[in-house]
């Protein structure tokens, strides 16, 4: 309990200048220590946040997580450094800190606050504070070494971060699938754009129909670019195909068959001009058709009534073959009557009507061909996307795959159309559409695991026809949906239904087992 006699007063401590000078070095040291401490805190915080981000990326596909993790770590470090540099400790705060660290009992903070006070006891107090301060050195009292606990914390977090970086991330396979899908999608979008350009360049169809097809394709492109997964892409393609089907003339097939039958009947005629007209009609040669009909009109004037009657009968037979094409049928009827009547004016009118019907048929045929071409392109795109999805899935599950190549002989009703079925490795089950008038009998070979299997229309409406000659038929794009997609949808719906219903657990397992067994067949 002895009273302490104060130390000798430092001479020359009468003003606050010396105090400021003495505190300056402490302030710098404290600032430096603050920068280092806050930087350590920033490093620890950044590493922890980076670890959390990497941890999240193991449960959610996140391709750019490494960039984010690096960015967050660097941002935390820079933020801490910036804050430490910005919030430089003031002299008053430095005095308080030094008081605390050196146990100076508020000597410095009091001296700093009263640095301009000229009272004798204030001068004494400043001198005492300076005297006490002079016993210590900033380099010894304010350590810049990081604490052991901080180092241990940094080490632990760094090891955790390294493990998260180095250990394989199960979400990488999902990311690869997504990347593959996006790449495939980009390729298919390019193909659709190319097809769009090709259709824009076709002069055989009207500008209005070109614009409509172009609009459908552009909408399909927009949807595809926004598609997040294969299902959305397939839906976009199916929707575009359905719209294209609506553009198609539903009677086009009948008309084509009728025209083919009529032209065949005309070709069978003994009259060379009529036979030439039939050939021209069959091939869509409007100029040849006009020439042949003009020759026929000239020839009629020189014929006997019996010859004209025979000729009219042949034309009438052809007209009867063209019942499915009313315009052609009417024109042939008109020509048959004009020939029978030997009326030059009527013959001329009938020739013109026949030429007009043929031209209309030809235009319709061209339009249909363009629609078919666009629809086929979309179908190819859909198949390619489905194939890429399946391939990426099978690759990621490390299943050995056999390259399946099947041929679709495309046995269908014979028509004048010619087409190749480009689908390799696919076996399309016959598809019947709501509005379709055709029937398709495709007998494909299902071999291999990765065969693309389509099932009857699930998406959209449209015709599905197959025209072919001798096994080389064109499969008209219908509403086929990949089996893998459908079974996935069914599986999801079933799982949701099971989860949302009051089915006993054992039955739930039974149903889930069933769909799991189906999944293996995908």
User: Of 60, 86, 120, 403, which lies in the binding site for other proteins, with binding defined by CB under 8 A?
Assistant: 120
What kind and span of H or E run contains 389? helix 344-396
User: Of 45, 109, 392, 464, which lies in the binding site for other proteins, with binding defined by CB under 8 A?
Assistant: 109
Q: How far is the CB of 104 from other proteins (least distance, A)?
A: 9
Nearer to other proteins, 117 or 275 (CB): 117
Choose one: 59-67, 122-130, 180-188, 203-211; the region binding other proteins (CB under 8 A).
Answer: 122-130
Nearer to other proteins, 106 or 499 (CB): 106
Q: Contact between 115 and other proteins (CB under 8 A)?
A: no
Q: How far is the CB of 94 from other proteins (least distance, A)?
A: 14
User: Of 11, 118, 397, 502, which lies in the binding site for other proteins, with binding defined by CB under 8 A?
Assistant: 118
Q: Can you read off the two tokens belonging to residue 240?
A: 């575009």
Q: Contact between 121 and other proteins (CB under 8 A)?
A: yes
Contacts 24+ apart (CB under 8 A), 74-78: 74/46, 75/46, 76/42, 76/43, 76/45, 76/46, 76/49, 77/39, 77/42, 77/43, 77/46, 78/42
User: Of 23, 111, 185, 315, which lies in the binding site for other proteins, with binding defined by CB under 8 A?
Assistant: 111
Q: How far apart are CA 112 and CA 116, in angstroms?
A: 8
Q: How far is the CB of 123 from other proteins (least distance, A)?
A: 9
Q: How far is the CB of 120 from other proteins (least distance, A)?
A: 4
Nearer to other proteins, 105 or 193 (CB): 105
Choose one: 125-133, 190-198, 257-265, 440-448; the region binding other proteins (CB under 8 A).
Answer: 125-133
Choose one: 101-109, 183-191, 289-297, 308-316; the region binding other proteins (CB under 8 A).
Answer: 101-109
The helix/strand/coil state of 15 is coil
Nearer to other proteins, 8 or 140 (CB): 8
SS3 labels along 407-434? CCCCECECCCCCCCCCCCCEEECCCCCC
Nearer to other proteins, 105 or 215 (CB): 105
User: Of 94, 125, 188, 387, which lies in the binding site for other proteins, with binding defined by CB under 8 A?
Assistant: 125
Q: How far apart are CA 188 and CA 377, in angstroms?
A: 9
Q: Contact between 94 and other proteins (CB under 8 A)?
A: no
Nearer to other proteins, 125 or 442 (CB): 125
Q: How far is the CB of 23 from other proteins (least distance, A)?
A: 15
User: Of 59, 74, 85, 105, which lies in the binding site for other proteins, with binding defined by CB under 8 A?
Assistant: 105
Nearer to other proteins, 107 or 196 (CB): 107
Task: Calculate the alpha carbon distances from 177 to 55, 110, 181, 381, 398 in Å.
Answer: 20, 69, 6, 17, 13
Q: Which DSSP string corresponds to 167-235?
A: SPPTHHHHHHHHHHHHHHHHHHHHHHHHHHHHHHT--SS-HHHHHHHHHHHHHHHHHHHH--SHHHHHH
User: Of 28, 96, 295, 508, which lies in the binding site for other proteins, with binding defined by CB under 8 A?
Assistant: 96
Please, which of residues 404-463 interact with other proteins by CB under 8 A? none
Q: Which of 488, 442, 478 is nearest to 229 (CA)?
A: 488
Cβ-based neighbours of 349, under 8 Å, separated by 6 or more: 334, 338
Q: How far apart are CA 415 and CA 409, in angstroms?
A: 15
Count of alpha carbons within 13 angstroms of residue 439, beta-carbon side: 2
12 CB-contact burial (10 Å; exposed 0-12 / middle 13-18 / buried 19+): exposed
Nearer to other proteins, 10 or 224 (CB): 10
Q: Contact between 114 and other proteins (CB under 8 A)?
A: yes
Nearer to other proteins, 104 or 480 (CB): 104
Q: Contact between 110 and other proteins (CB under 8 A)?
A: yes
* DSSP summary character for residue 456: S
Q: How far is the CB of 30 from other proteins (least distance, A)?
A: 17
Nearer to other proteins, 121 or 140 (CB): 121
SS3 labels along 248-271? CCCCHHHHHHHHHHHHHHHHCCCC
Q: How far apart are CA 158 and CA 84, in angstroms?
A: 23
Do the Cβ atoms of 383 and 452 come closer than 8 Å? Answer: yes
Q: How far is the CB of 178 from other proteins (least distance, A)?
A: 56
User: Of 89, 94, 128, 224, which lies in the binding site for other proteins, with binding defined by CB under 8 A?
Assistant: 128
Residue with tokens 């061909």: 369
Binding footprint of other proteins, residue count (CB under 8 A): 27
Q: Which of 520, 518, 515, 484 is nearest to 497 (CA)?
A: 515
Q: Which residues pair with 455 in a beta bridge?
A: 481
3-state helix, strand, coil in the chain (%, to 5): 65, 5, 30
Site string for other proteins, 3-42 (x = CB under 8 A): xxxxx-x---------------------------------
User: Of 34, 54, 91, 107, which lies in the binding site for other proteins, with binding defined by CB under 8 A?
Assistant: 107
Q: Contact between 2 and other proteins (CB under 8 A)?
A: yes
Nearer to other proteins, 15 or 499 (CB): 15
Residue with tokens 């060379």: 272
Which residues lie near other proteins (CB under 8 A)?
A: 1-7, 9, 96, 105-107, 109-111, 113-114, 117-122, 124-125, 128-129
């Amino acid at each position: 309990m002895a009273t302490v006699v104060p130390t000798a007063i430092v001479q020359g401590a009468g003003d606050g200048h010396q105090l400021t000078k003495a505190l300056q070095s402490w302030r710098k040291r404290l600032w430096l220590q603050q920068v280092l401490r806050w930087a350590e805190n920033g490093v620890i915080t950044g590493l922890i946040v980076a670890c959390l981000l990497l941890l999240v990326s193991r449960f959610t596909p996140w391709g750019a997580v490494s960039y984010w993790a690096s960015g967050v770590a660097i941002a935390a470090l820079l933020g801490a450094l910036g804050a430490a540099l910005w919030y430089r400790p003031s002299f008053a705060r430095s005095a308080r800190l030094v008081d605390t660290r050196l146990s100076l009992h508020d000597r410095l903070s009091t001296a700093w606050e009263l640095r301009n006070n000229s009272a004798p006891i204030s001068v004494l107090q400043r001198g005492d504070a300076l005297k006490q301060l002079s016993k210590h050195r900033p380099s010894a009292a304010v350590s810049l070494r990081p604490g052991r606990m901080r180092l241990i914390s940094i080490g632990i977090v760094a090891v955790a971060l390294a493990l998260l970086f180095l250990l394989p991330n199960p979400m990488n396979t999902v990311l690869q699938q997504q990347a593959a899908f996006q790449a495939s999608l980009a390729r298919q979008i390019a193909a659709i754009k190319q097809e769009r350009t090709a259709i824009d360049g076709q002069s055989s169809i009207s500008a209005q129909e070109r614009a409509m097809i172009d609009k459908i394709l552009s909408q399909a492109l927009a949807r595809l670019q926004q598609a997040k997964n294969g299902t959305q892409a397939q839906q976009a393609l199916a929707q575009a195909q359905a719209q294209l089907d609506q553009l198609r003339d539903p009677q086009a097939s009948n008309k084509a068959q009728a025209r083919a039958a009529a032209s065949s009947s005309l070709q069978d005629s003994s009259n060379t001009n009529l036979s030439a007209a039939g050939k021209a009609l069959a091939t869509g040669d409007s100029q040849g058709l006009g020439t042949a009909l003009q020759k026929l009109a000239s020839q009629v004037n020189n014929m006997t009534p019996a010859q004209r009657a025979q000729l009219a009968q042949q034309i009438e037979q052809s007209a009867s073959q063209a019942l499915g094409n009313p315009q052609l049928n009417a024109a042939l009827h008109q020509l048959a009557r004009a020939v029978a009547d030997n009326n030059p004016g009527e013959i001329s009118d009938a020739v013109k009507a026949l030429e007009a019907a043929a031209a209309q048929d030809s235009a319709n045929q061209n339009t249909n061909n363009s629609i078919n071409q666009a629809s086929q392109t979309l179908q190819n795109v859909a198949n390619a996307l489905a194939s890429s999805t399946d391939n990426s899935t099978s690759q990621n599950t490390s299943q050995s795959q056999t390259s399946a190549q099947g041929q679709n002989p495309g046995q269908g009703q014979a028509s004048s159309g010619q087409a190749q079925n480009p689908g390799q490795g696919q076996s399309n089950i016959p598809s019947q559409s709501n509005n379709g008038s055709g029937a398709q009998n495709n007998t494909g070979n299902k071999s291999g695991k990765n065969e693309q299997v389509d099932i009857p229309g699930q998406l959209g409406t449209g015709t599905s026809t197959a025209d072919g000659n001798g096994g080389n038929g064109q499969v008209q794009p219908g509403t086929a949906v990949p089996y893998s997609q459908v079974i996935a949808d069914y599986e999801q719906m079933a799982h949701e239904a099971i989860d949302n219903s009051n089915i006993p657990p054992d039955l739930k397992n039974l149903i889930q087992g069933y769909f799991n067994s189906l999944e293996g067949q995908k």
